[in-house]
Amino acid sequence: MRKIKEVLRLRALGLTGRQIAASAGVARSTVSEYLKKADAAGLSWPQPEGMDDAALIRRLFPPGPASQGKQRLPDYGYIHTELKKKGVTLRLLWEEYLSENPEGYRYTQFCHYYHRYKGKLNLSMRQVHRAGEKMFVDFAGQTMPVVDRYTGAVREAEVFVAVLGASSYTYACAVWSQELDSWIDCHRRAFEFFGGVPRITVPDNLKSGISKPCRYEPDLNPTYLDMAEHYQTAVIPARVRSPRDKAKVEAAVLVAERWILAALRNHTFFSLAELNQKIAELLKKLNSRPFAKLDGTRSSLFETLDVPALLPLPKIAYEFARFKKATVNIDYHVDVYGHYYSVPYPLVKEKVDVRITTSTVEILYKGKRIASHLRSLKKGAHTTQPEHMPARHRQYLEWTPTRIIDWAGAIGPNLKQLTEAILTSKKHPEQGYRAALGLIRLAKTYPKERLEAAAGRAFEARALSYKSVKLMLKNNLEALPIDSQQSLPIVSHKNIRGADYYQVKEITRC
């Protein structure tokens, strides 16, 4: 209404339509429409004395002559629901309404009364959520006790809650912790429960999913980002200290605590599966409860709004993966939890990212996968692909077995002999480079004489490893002969039975 008055006032000042549009901040077509209606109603500026806004609207937008008492009011509950669908606008809904009710409200009145209707809804409903667009996730503040059937020990289970923005359709499940693996698995379960994937996932700044909370550019955990890429959803964390960003899930958590967790307060659960089964039963009741101020239920809105708009689930569920950074050693292998995996040899000394699942190890360089191996739990062993090994490459020739043996020989003959034995004991000499270089670096920590003595003793005992030499030096054992055994004092005690106790005694029959 203020805009209409301003248009009339500016015209009275002699401004053109273009100037009025620029000053009032409206489109020129809108200015033209207002002026036509004002001329048709015989209105000018200043307004007639005593005319309020309601009277001005009646003059500018009079109802049709046959519409008195016959005007069908718009169904604003239906309109509010339809606006959540992609591409649906108020003007489109007004045109549909007008096609069925030609004598109904004009567009301005239609919008005016809709906004009045929306203002009467709960504050949490005022944020517009498009169908299938957002899923809000968080852990509830309340935990659920689970009792060990045999020991009676009580363990608290965390409750994960996910809610779709458009329909408020809710999912919940119990897990043992808020750690990363549980966090990722809860997302997988939620996607499968909804039968599809929303375009945006909105978590709180939970440490499991957000590596570094920030109001504007939070850093996502690499595993969380990997999961999002697998399901083709975008993760947009709620801003720090911005409760409106996560109002939907906060309300869902409150509802879950009231209608699920509170309802289970007097139950005793002996397993996580038993607790989750009961939560699933109460979820059905919760999603079927009628809304207080809207028509329908969470389930009905979910079927009509979210189901058609959700992205399809991928054919294969996400497999949990951890990420770590590593530097390629000169033996063109990277260390992953004590096992060594090969990469193409030109990447020696480069930094790479390692993706680790329960079955595979993938190595990525600048975002591109350069190697993939079956995962091995054997520590100290190597997994090497032949195509990763150099043939006759100039840049690699500086690191040869001969050079490393000669380098060890500069310290002493014993170390040279041990280094050569380590390299020849491997299937590929390069697999021994790491241990050989470790032995050479020990000369920076210990005197060469002690290192030589330890190397000689290790070679004689066929303890062909870096750890054996280091352990000798650490415990000052390099000077002891291999077959030396320190005599231990004989301990006498009444509880020690001795060898005679175990002798077979003759049984005398009576």
pLDDT digits (tens, 9 = 90+) for 415-467: 888 888 888 887 767 677 778 888 888 888 888 888 888 888 888 888 888 88
Beta bridge partners of 297: 290
Q: How far apart are CA 464 and CA 453, in angstroms?
A: 14
List, in order, residues 6 or more apart from 496 with CB less than 8 Å away.
none
217, burial (CB in 10 Å: exposed 0-12, middle 13-18, buried 19+): exposed
Q: Which two tokens stand for residue 386?
A: 């032949």
Q: Are 230 and 311 in contact (CB under 8 A)?
A: no
Q: What is the DSSP letter of 125?
A: G
Whether the predicted pLDDT of 187 surpasses 80: yes
- 338 sits in the region (left: phi over 0; alpha: psi -120 to 50; else beta) called left
Beta bridge partners of 134: 200
Range name among 23-27, 351-355, 408-412 with the lowest pLDDT average: 23-27
How many residues can be counted in the chain?
510
Residues 385-413 pLDDT 10s: 888 877 654 444 456 777 788 888 888 88
Among 368, 296, 370, residue whose Cα is nearest residue 82: 296
- Cis bond before residue 308 (omega within 30° of 0): no
Q: Which two tokens stand for residue 345?
A: 């040899």
What is the pLDDT averaged over residues 337-361?
A: 91
The whole-number pLDDT of residue 215 equals: 40
Q: How far apart are CA 222 and CA 210, in angstroms?
A: 9
Q: Which two tokens stand for residue 314?
A: 């991928």
Does residue 202 or residue 48 have the better pLDDT?
A: 202
Q: How far apart are CA 417 and CA 82, in angstroms?
A: 81
C-alpha count within 13 angstroms, C-beta hemisphere, residue 174? 25
Q: How far apart are CA 257 and CA 264, in angstroms?
A: 10
CA torsion through residues 265, 268, 271, 276, sign: negative
Q: How many CB atoms lie within 10 A of CB 257?
A: 17
Q: Are 232 and 247 in contact (CB under 8 A)?
A: no
What is the pLDDT averaged over residues 322-346?
A: 90
Q: Which residues of 86-107 are buried (b: 16+ CB within 10 A; e: fewer)?
A: eebeeeebbeebbeeeeebbbe
Percentage of residues of the chain with pLDDT beyond 70: 79
Helix, strand or coil, per DSSP, at residue 374: strand
Whether the predicted pLDDT of 185 surpasses 60: yes
The whole-number pLDDT of residue 433 equals: 78
What is the pLDDT averaged over residues 272-299?
A: 88
Q: How far apart are CA 186 and CA 192, in angstroms?
A: 10
The whole-number pLDDT of residue 74 equals: 83
Task: List, in sequence order, the alpha helices (H) in 425-476.
Answer: 433-441, 448-460, 466-474
Q: How far apart are CA 205 and CA 213, in angstroms?
A: 6
334, burial (CB in 10 Å: exposed 0-12, middle 13-18, buried 19+): buried
The whole-number pLDDT of residue 68 equals: 44
Q: State the pairing for strand pair 134-139/200-203.
A: parallel
Helix, strand or coil, per DSSP, at residue 164: strand
Helices and strands in the chain, H and E counts: 18, 15
Q: Are 175 and 182 in contact (CB under 8 A)?
A: yes
Q: May I ask the CATH class of domain 134-309? A: alpha beta
Average pLDDT along the chain:
79
Q: What is the DSSP string of 227-262?
A: HHHHHT-EE-PPPTT-GGGGHHHHHHHHHHIIIIIG
Domain segments of the chain as ranges = 2-118, 134-309, 322-392, 400-510
Amino acid at 31: V
Among 307, 350, 297, residue whose Cα is nearest residue 328: 350
331, burial (CB in 10 Å: exposed 0-12, middle 13-18, buried 19+): buried
Residues 107-144 pLDDT 10s: 888 888 888 887 766 544 445 678 888 898 988 888 99
Look up the pTM and report it: 0.55
The whole-number pLDDT of residue 494 equals: 58
Q: How far apart are CA 421 and CA 320, in angstroms?
A: 41
Would you give the end-to-end CA distance of the chain in angstroms? 121
